[in-house]
Structure 1
């Protein structure tokens, strides 16, 4: 009976994916879009890659500005649905493929915390990160979207210390978003090499999906550089 149920579920999943409109990922290698491509791989989602050569400024040309007027990647399109903003893309894709188990259902007690930490990435971590990286004076604490950098980071550290994943024992799409981001920001020295951050990032970046995309990114980045003679 169990084997029959599993095969039936597999057939339903395959049928749903066959009937689903294709996903296009607008992409540049070694950018914020890397995390989105890793997520697509983790979800087992079929997608088409529309690569943009940032070294030639392709993301600032009219063709792509019609997709995202900000000239930023990633962006994804599925049929008439066009989604920009990394946080929105993460939620959109994970909900599109619930069978992958990377998104808590609406009635799951983890759904609220899951949404909280994905939103925290965009509303607190990213603004704090840019102020820190550019040595900008942050806004007064009562006007800052992230209070202050140390508090923002300490709050994240306390959550990750509960581990092994952001929400405890269960890995979600939020971990792909955070794990890839922390890997890059630790490497560039913006986030300190604290054991909690380093071990968490390594847990995500050691996964086969990240390793595959890292290798593919290196090859694509070299091709893009060669296209401009560099």
Structure 2
């Protein structure tokens, strides 16, 4: 008997292709972040956060309310996304446990509509949302730790410890967003392998535009910056000295 084409074969071709595109892009992004962080938006943002920590530690501990407010905003965002991820896991689990024949799935989707394939779809979506939940919980953990450290008296905590906590929280935040991107692509698989594949390609194109960085890294606390400050101070001193000299006359 010869081989015959069936609609179910679309899932075997398009779904692995879409997932491969997503995985390849994220592995490429991870490689660029580890080897050339200045070329990624994540590396650029982490560089700014390192500079932010150094500048915040120049302020007296009792006046660091602004720094704690910034961390509190990040904590609120990570807590909200972790709650949303957990709620979506519960909803999808309820749909999976009560799933039966669906008129929309059986009649209007071009692809495999069997019960086993539907179960695989929902299990993969739940796995992505659970991974996002774990990442956002870790984000909250590290930013809470950074809040404790940054409120300590000046000089008691090394700058590197606070920077490490902030950067780890930011990296878990990026990983949680990546898990949500995968979950979004898999949600399109519910409507068939063709929307899933198109969504994966479109999402990778959008993410590539958002994750690339073309701006030069800002050198916080560099010698050039200190030289500018010294020059301004010298100009101010010269002006003040001129006023004092004229006043004595």
TM-score where L is the length of structure 1: 0.25
Higher relative contact order (CA 8 A, sep 6+): 2
TM-score where L is the length of structure 2: 0.24
Structure with more strand by fraction: 1
Structure with more helix by fraction: 2
Q: Which has the larger radius of gyration?
A: 2
